[in-house]
Amino acid sequence: MLVVVDMQARLLPHLDGGEPLTERVAMLLRAAHLLDMPVVVTEQNRRGLGGTAGPLLRDMRTATLIEKFTFDATLEPTFVAALPPAPYTLWVTGAEAHVCVLLTTLGLLRLGYRVEVVADAVASRRPDDRAIALQRAQQDGARLTTAETTIFSWLGDCRHVRFKEALALIK
């Protein structure tokens, strides 16, 4: 399952690397849709930060959308209810790396999930915050990966019926 954390319109312009982040998350959303991978998207205080950024909306057609007010999404019952039973691997992306992404990752680990943080698909306003968040997530048991590696792991094999379509998303 792909977990997309708080990719919101009013937040993205303030992030270091916000544009490449949006491109990678969009690529992951397209791949998840192509490969029938379930997706959960969170929005932190939609009224204050706006909804999910426009460029991502068309790629969220099958996603479950959860509004939250806690920084750790696992403290929201609707978020936890949308997850498959643990143990299960969840790929986490989004913003900000050192707040909602990290705290949600730690919460998922506490609930018994295997978590892969997609390191090139998370961002913060300051690079140091992102770097320390990734280090902390890894120290606490999350694995770090990249968007491209994630898609190849979902495919598993070059003989997958959707391999060429997925490859076109990456190239």
Give the pLDDT confidence score for residue 62 in this predicted structure: 83
- Per the structure block, which two tokens stand in for 151? 């898609």
> Which helix (H) or strand (E) segment is 64 a member of?
strand 64-68
This prediction has a pTM of 0.95
Q: Digits of tens for pLDDT over the chain (171 positions)? A: 999 999 998 888 999 988 899 999 999 999 999 999 999 999 999 888 888 887 777 777 789 999 999 999 999 999 999 999 999 999 999 999 999 999 999 999 999 999 999 999 999 999 999 999 999 999 999 999 999 999 999 999 999 999 999 999 998
Which residues does residue 40 pair with via DSSP β-bridges, in sequence order? 3, 64
CATH topology of domain 2-170: Rossmann fold (3.40.50)
Which amino acid type is present at position 1? M
Whether residue 21 contacts residue 127, with contact meaning beta carbons closer than 8 Å, is answered with no
Whether residue 74 contacts residue 109, with contact meaning beta carbons closer than 8 Å, is answered with no
Alpha-carbon distance 38 to 82, whole Å? 10
Q: What are the structural domain ranges in the chain?
A: 2-170
